[in-house]
Structure 1
Amino acid sequence: MGWVDDKNNKYDILTKTDLKKIDTFEYGYYYFRFGEMTEFDRTSILMKVQSYYDKKVFWPSEFVNYMLNRGIRFKIYYRPVISEGILNNFLHLKLILKLNLRILMYLFKNKRK
């Protein structure tokens, strides 16, 4: 398994993909949509996602904290997985709702400063 771009080119290392921008990132139940970002932010996201890929684990709450600390604009959405049961879908939906609340609280707190 690796990464595949729009032209079906396969990559093992994300930083070699030469992406000009990142619009979305999907992993299982999680769908991230990004706003405008600098090249430095784009590279840092690619390196973070690559580290998750290398470890074969994805921590959505850690990824959200990372994005908030970096000041990268993004939104997180729930994407149901049909092959999983209702309970797993519900648990991930609940986690995504908590993450969205954390994002809103972070934005509200920083807006008041």
Structure 2
Amino acid sequence: MHSFKENLKKWWWAVAIILFFIVKSGDSNSPIGKTWMSKDASIAYSFGNTYGKSDNFLNYNQIFYDHGSPVGHIHRTGIFSIDGSTINSNFSDGQPPYKLEYKKVDGEWCVVDGSGNIFVWDDPAKRE
């Protein structure tokens, strides 16, 4: 018969292994629940429950600048779905749906639109 300490040690290892796999799967390469910014920070996409909305909520913001000063703004909302690495965007303002690609660019996960614009994760830990 095993002692309590031996059983506890076995359970600790089982829990540690399970937690390891949970952490690795949580580090999944998914665009959901994140905001993705263009390199110049003028365009942003947010996918998923980032604003207390539904899990497939899509938020789009674009700011127009003239000589460094903001002169216009577009804000669109809608829904999205993911099929493999393709993000199908469907806005509620009547504009036609379009596709974005989720892929690695220079070793970093990014969202890329049909024009080749690259959007990187707006990681709060990396902000200056």
Q: Same fold (TM over 0.5)?
A: no
Question: Structure 2 length as normaliser, TM-score?
Answer: 0.20
Question: Structure 1 length as normaliser, TM-score?
Answer: 0.22
Structure ranking higher in helix proportion = 1
Between the two structures, name the one with larger relative contact order (CA 8 Å, sep ≥ 6).
1
Q: Which has the larger radius of gyration?
A: 2
Structure ranking higher in strand proportion = 2
